[in-house]
Amino acid sequence: MNIKEEIIRLAKEIGISKIGFTTADDFDYLEKSLRLAVEEGRNSGFEHKNIEERIKPKLSLASAKTIISIAVAYPHKLKQQPQKTAYKRGKFTPNSWGLDYHYVLQDKLDRLAQGIEELTADFEYKGMVDTGALVDTAVAQRAGIGFIGKNGLVISKEFGSYMFLGELITNLDIEPDQPVDYGCGDCNRCVAACPTSCLIGDGTMNARRCLSFQTQDKGMMDLEFRKKIKTVIYGCDICQICCPYNKGLDNPLATEIDPELAQPELIPFLELSNGQFKEKFGHVAGSWRGKNILQRNAIIALANAHDRSAIPKILQIIDQSPNQIHVATAIWALGELVREPNPDMIELVLSVKNPTPQIQEEQSRFLEKFGLQEQILIEN
């Protein structure tokens, strides 16, 4: 029996799009860039903290010999558009369409491991999906899944960069695959297209400037990024949309997709309770940061969509929301949506009780935008 061929056969049966094998040797070449990212404050904060564990597979599995890398492709275009309604819609990016990819990949890794256990005795392994110690992209590149593009994503000729990645660290002794023989070449489209210039051009980035990070970060979104997210309330796809390897792709479904959840109505989204949010969106990857952050993004998206029908909802948030970040964001959004605020709007903006520094900053910005600062000073 050829164990490698049997594992490849198993992978196809399970619905794994691409599989590759590499040694469990250390990823020493990553250490310098990983430490530099920490020193320069370019990390998102979501990464595994122990750099030694990120570059040494044997710290995760002492008997490690071979790492099996898997990729599950997913589509980047909706087959079915959500129905047209009176509401403007926001967007989750494709990696959050359908069931959370962590569950999808973990299920496939578990089934692959169970299948291997039936093929060989004394099988030891450890599975990782995204939140594990190893750098998934580095493993996938060395295992021949694809190359790491200038946008930091693994790209293959078959599926572009629209792939979920995971791996099994194993004690199996399997001949490794070779890295692919293609890459970005002179193409620089993603670096040029990035609206925040977060891509450094060598496959690394300033993650804190990435719009995907901004839609997941807590607190107020910096003014610099608000208009740049447009109507996306989770993620960012710009560096993938412009990539030539992604042109003309028709990737298979990784999981069933509800277009109403992929592009939710913004005003109803703002009205969801915690329970309603968990029931409706709790199974998608974008829900992991919770309702409040995504609702903050939805307020910004309404302003960016120039949805003046949302003004009553924005005023209600300013008047009644217990969430101070929502109140401050709503004051900014009101300033974007109204041509000239009426006296009631001005009074509402200025009458927020116990305003936080963020609210005070947005109040000042609102007054300055409409030239009301001197008028307020004279009246007082």
Cα–Cα dist 129/336, whole Å = 40
The span from the first CA to the last CA of the chain, in angstroms, equals: 87
Is there a catalytic annotation at residue 25?
A: no
Structure tokens at 219: 């607190």
Check: CB of residue 17 under 8 Å from CB of residue 158: yes
Q: What is the DSSP letter of 18?
A: E
Structure tokens at 166: 């995971």
Q: Which residues pair with 166 in a beta bridge?
A: 70
CA atoms 55, 60, 62, 67: torsion sign: negative
Structure tokens at 193: 């297209």
Amino acid at 59: L
What order of strands is seen across the sheet that includes strand 18-23? Answer: 18-23, 66-73, 163-170, 125-128
Work out the burial of residue 105: count CB atoms within 10 Å of its CB; fewer than 13 is exposed, 13-18 middle, 19 or more buried: buried
Active-site option among 25, 26, 130, 258: 130
Angle at which helix 343-350 crosses helix 311-320, to 10 degrees, equals 30
185: left (phi over 0), alpha (psi -120 to 50) or beta: left
DSSP letter string, 270-308: HT--HHHHHHHHTTSGGGGG-HHHHHHHHHHHHHHTT-G
Structure tokens at 269: 């989204």
Residues marked as catalytic = 130
